[in-house]
Structure formats: structure tokens, C-alpha cells
Structure 1
Amino acid sequence: MIRYNLTALILSAILLSGCAQTQQNLSHSPQNQIFVKPQPDITYRNTLQEVENLLDLPDEQFDIAKAVLIVTSTINDATDIQANCALLDRYADKIRPKIESKRNVSDKVNALSDFLWAEGFHCPKPLWKDYSSREYLNVWRMEDTDFSRLLAEKKGNCLSLSILYISLARRTGIPLHSVAIPQHIYVRHTENGENLNIETTHGGYFFPDDEYKEKIALRGFNAEYQHQLSDKQLLGCYLLNIGALYNMMNNTATSLDYNLLALKTGLQDPDLLSNIANNYLLLGSLTYAEKYFLMSLKKQPQSGYIYAQLGYIAWMQNNYNKSHIYLTTAISLLEKVEKRRILAPKEEDKTSFAQACLAMTYNYRANVFLDTDDPYSALEHAKKALDLWQRRSFAVGYYNYRGVVDIYRTLGKIYTRLEDYDKSISYYNKALAQLNPEDKKPTKRMQGLLLSELAASHREKGDSSNAEKYFLEAQTIFKSLGDENRYLKVMNMYRGESDR
């Protein structure tokens, strides 16, 4: 499963600006590809409270399958918890005779894998190989994450298939545990001091630790980051995934509900902490956003993405020196990842989400330079951001279109400051042309911002007719959104007062 960058995702990340979106936001992904209700049933908080109560059970009494199915019922009305648990019990009854004579755990695991794949359970793509690809994007949907749907249709992703393995392992006494690495999850057992990693998306084949370490190191994460999860923490991964899906649909409050419950499972995943930070960032709570990003940074101290987010927050707080420090560190770390991507021997490793984050980090820094009266340094960084974005290697649909919108907007502001109004107007128009009407409210707000800044450029150019036209359009948008504060700011801009 994707767990950031995008995490988020955001790789991550969110609607205020490009890199802040990469952890959790997909772009140009039709809503029917996500397969999660735009808003869960009004009783979903009561159901999540029921799940929270299950977390108080001793570990040996906690049934991961039942807990996951209860969570699934909040987003899939067709979920039959009792019937699905009974199905798992029947599967376990069929597996036990196949493992009774097996002396080694590895042989029992092989028997479990053989049973599942003979039953038809499968993943369209072995996700451990396909980070960042369009195929990886296509399976990050509730269709493949939904555990009840997996049991019905036998098609899943790394998360739902790993939950299936663990659910049956608990019912048959096979000592398996799930393992989380950035952007993926699988299961493991240890035999004679050696970790045997079972790739649940690839026929249950065993892979050594070093293979996973190589994959995650290429993407700028700590190679040692392969911690074993309790079953409750595995539930946290499921909640985290649903939280990310709701964030993609611009339902930030619901996303935060699922993410905070994931935190209560004991899951201390850096992606989860970053996603919570991104939720708070979207909700306008910079203090809480900074708190959770710093918590995430302690667990992933080489994350350029987190440094970029902290730099963005410091910029929003007008703490420009602090922002420069964070963003300089972010650029240094992300450029190292970019070099590893370019030199990667395998074609499948030449795609990197960090490339987009690097582009947006340059864009953040361009804005800091602009706000500290250095438009020429701002222009240099904005051009670098645009070049990186245009040369990006990642799947076209993965990163939010808002990334290039933000870069065009920054260039528009810079050229306005440099009094090159023709270029300024050109970039504002490019930004407006990139807006995705499917995003509704967030797009309307950005449209209003761009129109107000475009109007200011026309006014400075001496084109009062277009200036008045675009100011009025911007005012109409913010009035329709009920954004009185921004409406008044546009009025001030119309009168000639500045606004960031």
C-alpha cells in the first residue's frame, strides 16, 4: 500500500501546496477509481469507538480480521462481518491438515501460500517491485484495500493480502508477523535466527532483508526501517490507508478521525505521523502540524519530505530564517535521492516520488526569497522547480496537478515584482488553465487567488478594464465559498493594498 508520500503520499501530502500534497493526494484520478464513499455513514464515529474498545483486549484475544471488517463496514455497507469471519474459519479448517505434518515453519508458510494462491487470491502487480509506477497507483484504491471485497473477489493489494495471511496464521498457529516499510507491507517469520520475508503480493515467495533494504534506501528512507508490527498496529495500517483515501477526496476531518485512531493502535509509523500533520495543516492548525512533523522527523531523520514541510510551515509563520534552514536541508537530502534514482541500475528503480517533492521544495524556497525581497534568487529557484517538474519521472497521475499550478503562480508573483507584467500575466493564465474542475471547492479557492493576483498584474500594467473584470470574478468566487476573510483581502487588493 502507499503509506505518503505519498505520503504522502503525500507521499505526502496535501492541498495547500505541491509537496504538501504528495503524501496523501492523487491527481487526475477519477473518483470512481478510489472506491470509498465520499462521506461514511453518520454513525461511523460510533463504529470507530467500537474498534477502539477492541484495542483494550489482550493481544491474544484480539482478532485482526474482525477488527478490520468492523472498520470496513464504515466505508462499505455490504460488509458482512459474521459471514466473512466464518469464511476465514472454514479456510483455516482446510489449512490445518496441510500443515500438521510440516516440521519447519517455512514449510507451513509455503503450505499456507499454496492454499491461498490455489484458491485464486492474487495481486495484479507485485507491489514490492513497482513503487511509483502507474500500476502501483491503480491498486491503491479501496477496491483492492477493502478486506471484505478481497474475500469476495480474491483480488487485493499488499495491505489486504497481508491481513489475510495474518488472519489465517492466527487461526492455524503459524507464527507470522506483518512488517512495515515505507510504501509497502509484507509478512515475516524468523527461523534459525534468519528473517524469512513473505511477499504477499507475489505468490508468497521469500525475499531476503537486503532486497527490501536496497529498495527503500533508493527512495531516501532508512534502510533499517523494517519494523515488525503487532496485529493491532496492522489494523493501524488499514486505518491509515482509509485516512489517506479520504484525504484524497478532500474530506480532511474524516481522514483525521481514521488517522488518530490508527495512532491509538500503537502504530508509530513516520507516514502516519506525517499524514496527521498534513491533516492539521489543511485544517489550518500550524502548531499541531509542526508538532507531528517533528515527531515523524525523529523516526525518519533523513526525510527531505518532512524538512520541506517544516520549511513550508516556518514560511507560513513568517519565520524566514528557520524556513531557509529547513528547506536547504530538504534540498540537500532530496538531491541525494535524485542522484540515486538517476544511477539506479534497474529501470524499475528510476522512478522517484522524491523528484516531485524536490521540485516543490525549490518552489517553497522561491516564495521565501520573494517575501524577503530577493526576487532574483526567487526566480532562480522557481525556474529550477519548473524544470524538475517538467522532467519528472514519476507516474503522471500520482502527483497532484496543483504542483505545477503552484509553480506557475510563484512565477507570476515573481514577474509582477520584477515589473515584467506580460510574463506575469502569462504564468497566471497557465496556472488557471491547469486547474481541475473536478476538485470543486479547493480548485475554486485557488481560482479566486489566481484571478485576484492576475487582476493586480493587469492593474500594474495599466489595464484597468481587465483588472476590474478579474477582481470582480475573484470576489464572486470567495463570496460563493463563504470565505469572508479572503473576500475582504481581495477588496483590499482591489484598492491597491498588498497581499501575500
Structure 2
Amino acid sequence: MKYFIITLFVLLCNFVKAQENRFYDDAFLTIDNMLTNKQAYSFKTAVLSVEEAYYQGKLDTAEVSRKIEFMANFAKKIIENRDLTYEEKDKATVSKYAAIFSVICQETPIIMNNDTLQYKAFSYDFNDVFGHKDLSNLFVSKLVNTQKGNCNSLPYLYKILAEEIGADASLALAPNHIYIKHNIKSIGWYNTELTSGIFPQDAWLMASGFIHLDAIQNGVYMKALTDRESLALCLVDLANAYNRSFPENDGSFALKCAMRALQIHPFLVTALILQAETHKQQYQKLANDPKGKDLISLLNKEYNYIHKIGYRNMPEGMYLEWLVSLRTERKRYEDLRLKQ
């Protein structure tokens, strides 16, 4: 009888674990299906599938989508009622970019009946900016519920809104950072920085001191990511969420996500680091196992490669100082061409 109870308990634990893992498996399949064209591409769906997996299916995605739809409709209203002083052939597209920027970064008056209300802009949340205490601080769902976000959730929301109103938006990476890149006829490429609400020159990005020339040449940093490469970024987010949910896992799910992401973007540094760090954790668990020699050899190759392509680690404290510098030295780094 005692053996039966123990067996039943083990089976029950395995069943619960399988149910918990199912949400992550489903999210991986959703993103992978988009990458193989078995499912229609949607950055919003990819992002929310990651967040729903972390919340184990308890995220109210319908409510999050409703709030996103409201913002998208608001952006459309801004486009209808505002005429930009921009006369190039891509004016309609630029108007969409400007409207999304207004929704996220600018207080905007809304006339309802005879009353004028002020739409509140999103703000940067300096509390737990890396999600160390609570991973959900990086989530779009948290952003739309609190109107406070960071360099992960704000550019993600921007890209989602762009797709909701029929525009393209490219994510781009810098050390510990994500921002938006656009290409328009009047000036070519320019940067949109949502954490401070301005358009910084590339000089600001280079000013961090942690962007090596090799990293730019290899597309590690400052590259406009394609939609597929943005999905690869979501796979890394999914692996990080899984590791947070199951800290004692064997690393197989994280490696699956990392390898799939690297198939899409071989120089995606977050995926390369995820892969190396997972192998490092596996090595630490092997202790004196002979297999550890092979793993340490692989680890050395992976870390050497990450350094070779231009990655340099940026301390978190220096990152925050660099981020603040955009506000304190705005005149120095702002792209004045956008004031036109």
C-alpha cells in the first residue's frame, strides 16, 4: 500500500510538471510555426505567448489585447487629425511612426464631447529594470496595465502597435538595450528611443564604450532586426522565462530555444550567451564526470566566439548611467534632423 501511494504521488508530480511545461512547449510551437510559415506572423502573439507561458495560462491576453487595440485606434485617430510638415512620398508611413511615438511618449489632448482630457504618456520604470526580482517587469502586459516600462517592454509595444496599424518597425540591439530603427526617404535610417522619448544619433549608442566595431560589422548591435529575427529574440525570452519558472531544469529547453534562435540569427548575442551559460550550468553539475572535459572545451570555444564577434559585457550600473545620459545630455545626442 505504501509503495502504491509513493508511486501515485510520483505520477501526480510528473503530471503537474508536464502540465506546467505544456505552456512553454505551446509557446515554442507558436513561434516556431511562425518561423516555418505554418502560422501567420504576429509579433504580438509571439510576445504574449511567452508571457502567458510564464503565467502558466493565467494571463488575461484578451484584456491586454483590448488595451493594445485601444492604443492602436488612438494612433489612427491621431493620423486622421494631424498633418505632418513632411512632404516625401512616404508621408503616410511616417505619419504612422509619429502617431505611435505620440501614443507612447507624449501627453496628448483628447476632446470628448465638450471636455478636453490629457492622455498620459508611458514612463520609464527604474524599479528592477532587468527583471531580477520579478521577470514580469519586462513584460508588455505589465506595461499596458501600469503605463510604466523599460527598454524591453517599450520597444516591444512600439513594434506591436506598428503592426496593428499596418506599419513596419525594426527592433535593434545595444548592450543590455533594445530600441527602434526606421528608414525614411528624407534622412534614411534614424533611431527611436522610447525610454527617454527622443531620437538619438548613433553617437549616443557608441558613447557607451561597449559597442566594438566588430559587433557592428557582424550585426550583433545596431542592426535593424527583421521580423523573423525579432521572433528569435522572443525564443530567448521564452528560455529565460522557463529558467525562472524551473530553476533546477536540465538546460535542454533553453538550448532548444537558443539553437532555434541562432538558426534564424547566427549573431544574436543574447542567444549565444544563453547557450554558453546553459552549458556552463550543465558543466557545474557534472563535477568530476569525464564528460565535463568535453563540455569545458565547448564552453571555451563558445565564450571565445562571443568575444570574437565583438560582444563586451556592460556592467548594469554603467548601463543605467548611460541610459540617463541621454536625458542629461539631450542636446549632445539628439538627431536634430527629426525636428524638421
TM-score using structure 1 length: 0.45
Q: Which amino acid letter does the alignment assign opposite residue 71 of structure 1?
A: V
1:194 aligned onto 2:188: yes
Higher-strand-fraction structure: 2
1:48 aligns to 2:47 (yes or no): no
Cα gap change, 1:301 to 1:114, in 2 (>3 Å): same
| Letter matched to residue 267 of structure 1 | H
Report the Cα offset of residue 56 of structure 1: 1.9
Q: CA deviation at 1:207?
A: 0.8
Paired residue secondary structure (1:48): helix
- Asked if 1:90 corresponds to 2:89, the answer is no
1:348 maps to 321
Partner of 2:231: 235
Whether 1:173 and 2:161 are equivalent positions in the alignment is no
Asked whether the equivalents of residues 273 and 292 of structure 1 are also in contact (C-alpha less than 8 Å), the reply is: no
Partner of residue 265, structure 2:
267
Unaligned runs of 5+ in 1: 1-37, 126-133, 306-333, 339-343, 350-500
Residue segments in structure 2 that go unaligned for 5+ positions in a row = 1-16, 108-119, 284-291, 323-340
The alignment partner of 1:196 has SS state of strand
Per-residue CA distance 1:374-403 (angstroms, 9 max, x = gap) = xxxxxxxxxxxxxxxxxxxxxxxxxxxxxx
Give CA deviations for 1:280-299 in whole Å, capped at 9, x if unaligned.
22113664565476356446
Give the AA of the match of 2:321: E
Determine the structure 2 residue equivalent to 1:69.
Answer: 48
What is the rounded CA distance, in whole Å, between the counterparts of 2:254 and 2:19 in structure 1? 11
For 2:196, give the aligned amino acid: H
Which of 257, 270, 277 is equivalent to 2:253?
Answer: 257
Measure, in 1, the Cα distance between the counterparts of 2:189 and 2:67: 30
Are 1:236 and 1:263, in contact at CA under 8 Å, matched by a contact in 2?
Answer: no
Give the match for residue 21 of structure 1: none
For residues 139-154 of structure 1, what are the structure 2 equivalents within 5 Å? 141-154=134-147
The share of aligned pairs that are identical, in percent, is: 18
Q: 2:37 aligned with 1:57, yes or no?
A: yes
Cα pair 1:252 1:279 within 8 Å, conserved: no
Q: What residue number does 1:301 align with?
A: 308
Judge conservation of contact 2:139–2:152 (CA < 8 Å) in 1.
no
Shift of residue 272, structure 1, vs aligned partner: 1.5
The alignment partner of 2:183 has SS state of strand
In the alignment, structure 1 residue 226 sits paired with structure 2 residue 222: yes
Residue correspondence of structure 1 range 27-42 to structure 2 within 5 A = 41-42=20-21
The alpha carbon displacement at 1:183 in A equals: 1.4
Tell me by how many angstroms 1:39 deviates.
11
**How far off its partner does 1:111 sit?**
2.3
Q: 1:283 to 1:87 in 2, by over 3 A?
A: same
Q: CA deviation at 1:57?
A: 2.2
User: Aligned pair in 2 of structure 1 residues 175, 303: CA closer, same or farther (>3 Å)?
Assistant: closer
* Alpha-carbon separation, structure 2, partners of 1:238 and 1:227: 17
Instruction: Give the drift of 1:123.
Output: 1.7
RMSD: 3.9
Confirm or deny that 1:157 pairs with 2:117: no
SS at match of 2:179: strand
Conservation of the 8 A alpha-carbon contact between 1:221 and 1:303: yes
Number of aligned pairs?
266
TM-score (structure 2 length as normaliser) = 0.64
The answer for the alignment partner of 1:210 in structure 2 is 203
| Counterpart-to-counterpart distance in 1, 2:150 and 2:163 | 20
Deviates more, 1:292-301 or 1:145-154: 292-301
1:187 deviation in Å?
A: 0.7
Work out whether residues 179 and 185 of structure 1, in 8 Å CA contact, stay in contact via their aligned partners in 2. Answer: yes
Q: Which amino acid aligns with 1:72?
A: E
